[in-house]
Amino acid sequence: MIDRPAASDAPLKLTLPDGSVREVAPGTLPREVVGNIGPRLLQAAVAVEVDGAVQDLMTPLRRSGSFRVITDKDPKALDVLRHSTAHVLATAVRRLRPDAQIGFGPAIEDGFYYDFGVDKPFTPEDLEQFEAEMRKVVADKLPFVRAEVSRSEAKRRFADDPLKLERIEDLGADEIISTYTDGPFIDLCRGPHVPDTGRIAQFKLTHAAGAYWRGDEKRQMLQRIYGTAFFRKEDLDAYLHRIEESKRRDHRTLGAALDLFSTDQRVGAGLILWHPKGAIVRNEIESYEKELILRHGYELVYTPHIVSEKLFEISGHLQTFKENMFGAMEVEGAAYRPKPMNCPGHICIYESHQRSYRDLPIRYAEFGTVYRYERSGVLHGMLRVRGFTQDDAHVFCTKDQIDNEIARLLDLVDEMLKTFGYPYTIELSTRPEKALGEPEQWRWAEEKLAEVLKGRGQEYTIDEGGGAFYGPKLDFKLIDAIGRKWQGPTVQLDFNLPERFELEYIGDDNTRHRPFMLHRVLVGSMERFVGGLIEHYAGAFPVWLAPEQVRVIPISEDVTAAAAAAADMMKAAGLRAHLDARHETLKYRVRDGEVMKVPYMAVIGAREAEQGTVAVRARGAAGNKQEIMPLADFIARVVKEKETRAVSA
């Protein structure tokens, strides 16, 4: 289902990667073009890219432009493979459950899903049966046969499937309606697909979950089956290993086991309760960041949790972000809302005085708690919540200062992420569909961000349409210990809010000028960042973040006093030390320290008490390996790790 281009009999001109041009008649199948280039290339082809758009070998050519063949070595081939695997899943489900209604089945990051309308949820046993049936479909090497049909024909073919009929009604008058079949199963689909089911060898169904039809909680609940597919077995095995490792690192499980945080339905869904140990982790991060940003020229501010709705009318949030805001409350006849953003408050602080060019740049920072409505179905531990604290900051500057301020922000982000041991990538996110301001302003701002990155030799990719509604941004994606990407810092260039609030400063020409704004967060949401850190470190925080840095364990009761004195010395040195003098075996207490992921255990027996030493067991040490060292030296070592914020011992 694609837009139908204007009909023309003129030959299409296809420019190949080597610069040569081939002319073909409109409607020619890509497989014919690829076959003419070479039969071996046709055998290897998964799809083609025409004028920047990926299409399969069975979809007629309708436009001129660049033309290249996509093989299984091309990153863009994975989406084609996964979309085709979703189709094979639907084929298998319909074979075993003929009454299942068919929803959507797109490729997504790391895999695919397909939605089905069935009477009861799928079980793990169901998924095993579907996967076995999929392997039969693959073994049959059924070709994906594409057909273009009229709207009336499409309605006839899908008369028994209300989900597909609804989708047909949504299609524009000029859209080409296409179907794909593999054997007797037919699906309403725009493609692209691999040539035949035999190309789908390495796949796995991972889990099933409920999902509302079209994401609307007022509509029927469907059953969504998730899976993944790769061209090579080693890639699939590596992915499945990563999935298992992800389960082991799940921050919800570790958060409960390590007593870091909890949620309570009496408090409300998506609202985090920080326990004392979790609060230590959070406080250490906030203290570090305050020290960092003050050194980088920021000033701390605080703004209210609820503000008048009028502020959001001016900012444009009510126009573009209302569905993500909590409802208004009436106070003395005026409407107030919990703030979804901190920026309007910082703007009000800027406006509280007349500003001169000599005052700029002004850098305001706040650990500001905000509230956003998220549907209950997407809430996920600390990673997707309704109330969270942002380490928000806004820089007000002149046009001439923008380049330098963006560069300073890039330095700040780099320093912070290195402290936590995160490598990262950068995406330049451009104008979204819902956007304030003129397209020319957006293009200028996007080019400005790109200029600074290029000037620093910084690699980046483009995220089309991923910008904030008020300006383009740089998104930093953190890469964790098992290769997953997490949303991290953002830097946004904003020309809209200064205009909407009519911000001004007096220039050196003694006339009024409009400042620019840069929005930035470093950790972003404190909740999401800590949840990600739990998974990144698998709960084994480095010393500076660990809620308990040293556990002191006396071997017997007669050395408890010496162990208590050692613990007091550690506390006096600023360490978070805990004395474990429980009437349990030494083995039990050591094992408990390992389970709680304490970085160091200092074991004290009669010899250590007499000589002023400790037997040190470092977290993760092989076997029962321990190191005997003077107590003072051990304390100095741990203090150094803490003060330097070392990622590892």
Mean pLDDT of 608-625: 88
What letter would DSSP give residue 401? G
pLDDT of residue 157: 87
Q: How far apart are CA 647 and CA 643, in angstroms?
A: 11
Q: How far apart are CA 240 and CA 306, in angstroms?
A: 45
Mean pLDDT of 446-462: 92
The per-residue pLDDT for range 365-383, each reduced to its tens digit, is 999 999 999 887 788 999 9
What is the residue-averaged pLDDT of the chain? 92
For this structure, is 343 an active site residue? yes
Half-sphere exposure of 157 (CA within 13 A, CB side): 21
* Two tokens, residue 548: 């308990």
pLDDT above 90 for 163? no
Mean pLDDT of 264-286: 96
Burial of 139 (0-12, 13-18, 19+ CB in 10 A): exposed
pLDDT above 50 for 3? no
Q: How far apart are CA 628 and CA 518, in angstroms?
A: 53
pLDDT above 70 for 140? yes
pLDDT of residue 649: 62
Q: What is the β-pairing status of strands 600-604 and 613-618?
A: antiparallel
Q: How far apart are CA 565 and CA 543, in angstroms?
A: 21
The per-residue pLDDT for range 85-127, each reduced to its tens digit, is 999 999 999 999 999 998 889 999 899 999 999 999 999 999 9
Say which of 87, 431, 473, 576 is annotated catalytic.
473
| Residue 152 CB partners (closer than 8 Å, separation 6+) | none
Q: How far apart are CA 521 and CA 202, in angstroms?
A: 40
Q: How far apart are CA 504 and CA 512, in angstroms?
A: 6
Say which of 251, 317, 394, 431 is annotated catalytic.
394
pLDDT of residue 623: 66
Q: How far apart are CA 37 and CA 54, in angstroms?
A: 18
Give the percent of the chain with pLDDT over 90: 79
For this structure, is 189 an active site residue? no
pLDDT above 50 for 4? no
Mean pLDDT of 333-361: 95
pLDDT above 90 for 517? yes
Mean pLDDT of 351-364: 96
For this structure, is 319 an active site residue? no
* Two tokens, residue 4: 């139908």
Say which of 115, 182, 392, 480 is annotated catalytic.
392
Mean pLDDT of 187-206: 94
pLDDT above 70 for 130? yes
Q: Contact at 8 Å (CB) between 194 and 137?
A: no
Q: Contact at 8 Å (CB) between 219 and 198?
A: no
Residue at 555: amino acid letter? I
Q: How far apart are CA 620 and CA 537, in angstroms?
A: 12
Task: Give SS3 for 320.
Answer: helix
Beta bridge partners of 551: 578, 601
Radius of gyration of the chain (CA): 30
For this structure, is 390 an active site residue? yes
pLDDT above 90 for 49? yes
- For the beta carbon of residue 480, count every other beta carbon within 10 angstroms: 19
Give the percent of the chain with pLDDT over 70: 98
Q: Is 632 left (phi over 0), alpha (psi -120 to 50) or beta?
A: alpha
CA dihedral 137, 45, 59, 66 (to 10 degrees): 160
Say which of 146, 251, 337, 372 is annotated catalytic.
372
Q: What is the β-pairing status of strands 424-429 and 461-463?
A: parallel
* Two tokens, residue 309: 């709705």
Q: Contact at 8 Å (CB) between 518 and 463?
A: no
Phi/psi at 489 (nearest 5 deg)?
A: -60, 155
pLDDT of residue 6: 47
| Residue 121 CB partners (closer than 8 Å, separation 6+) | 208, 210, 223
Q: How far apart are CA 43 and CA 63, in angstroms?
A: 24
Say which of 83, 408, 519, 520 is annotated catalytic.
519
Q: Concatenated DSSP letters for 588-642?
A: HHHHHHHHTT-SEEEEE-HHHHHHTEEEEEETT-STT--EEEEHHHHHHHHHHHH
Task: Give SS3 for 135.
Answer: helix
For this structure, is 202 an active site residue? no
For this structure, is 394 an active site residue? yes
Half-sphere exposure of 61 (CA within 13 A, CB side): 30
Q: How far apart are CA 628 and CA 616, in angstroms?
A: 6
Say which of 390, 401, 492, 549 is annotated catalytic.
390
Task: Give SS3 for 584.
Answer: coil
Alpha helices in 296-401 (DSSP H): 309-315, 317-320, 343-351
Say which of 199, 343, 346, 597 is annotated catalytic.
343
Q: How far apart are CA 386 and CA 371, in angstroms?
A: 6
Q: Concatenated DSSP letters for 230-253?
A: ESSHHHHHHHHHHHHHHHHT-HHH
pTM for this entry: 0.83
Half-sphere exposure of 550 (CA within 13 A, CB side): 31
pLDDT of residue 564: 96
Residues in the chain: 649
User: Which of 499, 525, 514, 468 minimizes the C-alpha distance to 315?
Assistant: 499
Q: How far apart are CA 144 and CA 186, in angstroms?
A: 10
pLDDT of residue 2: 47
Q: How far apart are CA 184 and CA 337, in angstroms?
A: 55
Judge if the upstream peptide bond of residue 192 is cis by omega within 30 degrees of 0. yes
Q: What are the distances in angstroms from CA 297 to CA 300, 354, 399, 412, 514?
A: 10, 21, 19, 11, 22
Half-sphere exposure of 203 (CA within 13 A, CB side): 36
The per-residue pLDDT for range 53-78, each reduced to its tens digit, is 999 999 999 999 999 999 999 999 99
Lowest mean pLDDT among 229-238, 353-362, 615-624: 615-624
pLDDT above 70 for 245? yes
The per-residue pLDDT for range 287-340, each reduced to its tens digit, is 999 999 999 999 999 999 999 999 999 998 888 888 888 988 998 889 999 999
